[in-house]
């Protein structure tokens, strides 16, 4: 098996087998650190993916963002493994999409151009100390981020952090890595 594929399975197992109480505690700490940070405070428009049950919940981030009058954008997967983000103001603008991930309903929302998103919260299974990540293997974020100019951040439990990971020529590191212990960078 390819090395990345092995690591994907390790990361996925780690998340799926985490006790619910541990998961909630980590999510609480991630949110606390995030909301107190300048990365969050400086972002008026935030792009994020609706989490699957084993992933770090993003609805708490959406609620807080809306409370602080920030705009939220959510990606829709389109042809050629590309994504288009759309602004959402309500969960009514979402439906179950590819991979059972909630996606925006294009004709109920305004598209968000790449340069208007100040911060993208990039999902992943494992991360390393340089910000490289192992995702689900679709390369969606690697593609999207090639010409994205603003900030990226990933949320990770400390068990998702490795010293280093195999990196391909098209992999891009995130700018900030936040764990339950705080910002690694
Ligand atoms: N910018 C890009 N343009 C075209 N293909 C890409 C790009 N970034 C990644 N890919 C391709 O997407 C596939 C998945 O990428 P990989 O890094 O293995 O997955 P993930 O980042 O989801 O863990 C690979 O075949 C990779 O070559
Ligand atoms: Mg990649």
Determine the length of the chain: 185
Q: Are 70 and 89 in contact (CB under 8 A)?
A: no
Ligand positioned closest to the Cα atom of 8: 1
Instruction: Indicate the DSSP class of residue 144.
Output: H
Give the pLDDT of the chain (185 residues) as one tens digit per residue.
799 999 999 999 999 999 999 999 999 999 999 999 999 999 999 999 999 999 999 999 999 999 999 999 999 999 999 999 999 999 999 999 988 999 999 999 999 999 999 999 999 999 999 999 999 999 999 999 999 999 999 999 999 999 999 999 999 999 999 999 999 99
- Give long-range contacts, CB 8 A cutoff, 24+ apart: 18-22: 18/54, 18/157
* Range of the structural domain that residue 157 is part of: 3-183
Q: How far is CA 174 from CA 96, 122, 150, in A?
A: 27, 8, 11
Please work out whether the CB of residue 139 comes within 6 Å of at least one atom of ligand 1: yes
| Ligand 1: centre distance to CA 92 (Å) | 31
Please work out whether the CB of residue 106 comes within 6 Å of at least one atom of ligand 1: no
How many domains is the chain built from? 1
CA distance 41 to 34: 9
CATH of the domain at 85: 3.40.50.10420
Ligand positioned closest to the Cα atom of 172: 2
């Amino acid at each position: 098996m390819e090395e990345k594929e092995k690591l994907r399975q390790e990361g996925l197992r780690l998340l799926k087998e985490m006790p619910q109480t541990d998961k909630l505690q980590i999510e609480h700490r991630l949110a606390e650190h995030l909301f107190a940070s300048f990365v969050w405070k400086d972002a008026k428009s935030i792009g994020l993916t609706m989490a699957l049950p084993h992933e770090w919940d993003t609805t708490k981030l959406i609620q807080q963002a809306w409370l602080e009058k920030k705009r939220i954008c959510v990606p829709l997967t389109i042809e050629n493994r590309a994504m288009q983000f759309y602004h959402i103001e309500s969960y009514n603008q979402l439906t179950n999409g590819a991979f059972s991930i909630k996606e925006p309903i294009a004709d109920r929302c305004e598209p968000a151009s790449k340069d208007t998103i100040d911060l993208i919260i990039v999902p992943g299974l494992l991360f390393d100390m340089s910000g490289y990540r192992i995702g689900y293997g679709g390369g969606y974020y690697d593609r999207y981020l090639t010409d994205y100019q603003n900030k990226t951040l990933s949320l990770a439990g400390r068990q998702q952090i490795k010293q280093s990971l195999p990196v391909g020529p098209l992999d891009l590191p995130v700018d900030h890595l936040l764990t339950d212990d705080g910002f690694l960078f």
